Amino acid sequence: MTTTSRAPRIGVMGGTFDPIHHGHLVAASEVAHSFDLDEVVFVPTGKPWQKQKSDVTPSEHRYLMTVIATASNPSFTVSRVDIDRDGFTYTIDTLRDLKAERPEAEFFFITGADAVAQILSWRDHDELWDLAHFVAVSRPGHVLSIEGLPSDDVSQLEIPALAISSTDCRARVAQGDPVWYLVPDGVVQYIAKHHLYRSKE
């Protein structure tokens, strides 16, 4: 019997994950299923260059919430490449570092409608297409526009609409509203334990 081996197919889900929520997890799961991925690596950003002005929760909290949220899924992993790199996070560096760790793998960068529209403004965007295939997922409230992006390198995927955002989760916690079932149970408990997102008096 012969076995044909193929390059591992790895999804990359980059995000601030402040906090990680079920929108992120559903997007990762749907792309993994549709693109026959072997693994999805969640990569919490260090300092996101797009969010320089706003307060972002310290990266160790965001990293641990991501680990908690993905722990039960054997094909989900979490990488520290971005939080361990100094300076702002650029997707090109994320992909270069992951490629250096797993040179044999084929990468699929998963990104929401809001982020995909901005790819052409990302650093070294010409080189991005050599490092990964891009999968743009639909997201309620955001129009998916892949105009101007190379069609061979970018695919679109409709996913079940989950109108959840981290911004909304933070606002809910600050107001004392529940985030049960918007984020995984362990993340609800982590937020409470570490008093994250409480409104500052």
Kindly state the smallest distance separating residue 24's Cβ from ligand ATP, in Å.
5
Q: How far is CA 161 from CA 13, 24, 112, 142, 197, in A?
A: 18, 11, 12, 11, 25
Chain residues 148-187 in contact with ligand ATP, contact rule CB under 6 A: 162, 164-167
Check residue 145 for interaction with ligand ATP (CB under 6 A): no
Coil, strand or helix at 141: coil
Rounded to the nearest 10 degrees, how much is the dihedral formed by the CA atoms of 120, 78, 38, 141? -50
Binding segment for ligand ATP (CB under 6 A), chosen from 18-26, 144-152, 177-185, 190-198, is: 18-26
Q: Which of 69, 81, 131, 137 binds ligand ATP (CB under 6 A)?
A: 137
Chain residues 106-135 in contact with ligand ATP, contact rule CB under 6 A: 111-112, 114-115
Nearer to ligand ATP, 7 or 158 (CB): 158
CA proximity to 132, closest of 99, 162, 164, 159: 99
Cβ-in-10-Å burial (0-12, 13-18, 19+) of 160 comes to: exposed
Nearer to ligand ATP, 6 or 19 (CB): 19
Tokens representing residue 55 in the block: 């307060």
Nearer to ligand ATP, 5 or 64 (CB): 64
Kindly state the smallest distance separating residue 120's Cβ from ligand ATP, in Å.
15
Tokens representing residue 79 in the block: 């990488």
How far is Cα 48 from Cα 183, in angstroms, rounded to an integer?
21
Q: Residue 19: is the preceding peptide bond cis (ω within 30°)?
A: yes
Kindly state the smallest distance separating residue 137's Cβ from ligand ATP, in Å.
5
Check residue 12 for interaction with ligand ATP (CB under 6 A): no
CA proximity to 144, closest of 168, 111, 109: 111
Binding segment for ligand ATP (CB under 6 A), chosen from 19-27, 74-82, 94-102, 185-193, is: 19-27
Residues lying near ligand ATP in the complex (CB under 6 A) are found at: 15-18, 23-24, 27, 111-112, 114-115, 137, 139, 162, 164-167
